[in-house]
Structure formats: structure tokens, C-alpha cells
Amino acid sequence: MESLLQHTRDLIATHGWSIQHVGAVSKEEFSFAYTVGLTALDHPELILSTPLPPPGAAHLLNELGGRVRQGKVLAAGQEPDKLIRGDSPPVLVRAESDELNFASALYPDSPVRALQLVLPDRRGLYPWEKGYDHKGFPQKCFGGAWSAVAPT
């Protein structure tokens, strides 16, 4: 574990953050990716849980990480522009950081906060909206229930 943490520290020293991918172990679980390193910038880490392959997830998280590094403050309810194609932008929602093990291990003395990037399905609907395609485009909610984190 220590060698993995050191590798993550090295990536953060070089790039400002790292992307950690967590694979699903069973069909009932979700794979996800998250940033590690934004906590040092006094910013929430970012989580993405979609059926996107790891390079696609890393691309989106790296794009947002770059914005944070340039001084942009991301917050729940924001719709990051020019991140994906389509009429419905992704949305940031509040999230729990319980499963961000690498971030917690690297920052044991700092509260690790998190935001989740939520993508719309092919019809432009979000997981908290009626008709969303949970089967075709599943996303795990890291903030409890989708109804609890939906922007108002």
C-alpha cells in the first residue's frame, strides 16, 4: 500500500492531482474514479461514477482538476460548461467521501470533502429525474439518495 501511496504522491507533485480508479467487484457494485490531491488546494475531491471507460472518466476529471488548479472553485449545483457535447451539461452535486480511501490516507489530518460529477443519460435526463435510464447509464450516488442531492 505504501508504494501505491508514494506513486500517488509523485503524480500529485508532478501534475497537481492524481486519478484513482476503483473497479466493481460484482454486478451489484459500481466502478468509479476520483481525484486525489485537490484537498491540498483546499478544494473538494471530484468523483465520477459512470459506465465510461477509465480513460474517458480520467479525461473529464482531469479537465475539471485543471480548472481547479487555475483557481476556479467548483461547488454543488454548478454545471461545468464545455465538458461534454449535448444540450444537457453535467452537474456537480454534494457527495460523501467515505470511499475515497487514497485521499483519506494521504490527508489524515484534513477533512476530505467531495463533489460528484453527474452526467445526463442519452436523452438528457439526470438520475433524479423521472425516466432516467438507470439500466443503460447507471451512476452510483455518493451522497445518499439521488433525491437528496438533486439541485433545486
Q: Residue 73 has what DSSP assignment?
A: P
The 45-48 sheet, strands edge to edge? 18-22, 32-36, 45-48, 114-118, 91-95
Q: What is the mean pLDDT of residues 25-42?
A: 87
- Please give the biggest Cα pair distance in the chain: 45
Q: What is the mean pLDDT of residues 119-136?
A: 95
- As given in the structure block, the three cell numbers for residue 79 are 454545471
Query: Does residue 1 carry a pLDDT above 80?
Result: no
Q: What is the mean pLDDT of residues 71-95?
A: 91
Using a 10 angstrom Cβ sphere, with 0-12 exposed, 13-18 middle and 19 or more buried, the burial of residue 105 is: middle
Per mean pLDDT, which range of 22-31, 61-70, 112-121, 129-138 is the poorest? 22-31
What's the whole-model pTM score?
A: 0.93
Q: Residue 104 has what DSSP assignment?
A: H
- As given in the structure block, the three cell numbers for residue 30 are 459500481
In 3D, which of 63, 114, 119, 115 has the Cα closest to residue 93?
Answer: 115
For the chain, what percent of residues have pLDDT higher than 90? 76
Determine the pLDDT at residue 152: 75
Element (H, E) at 59: helix 54-69
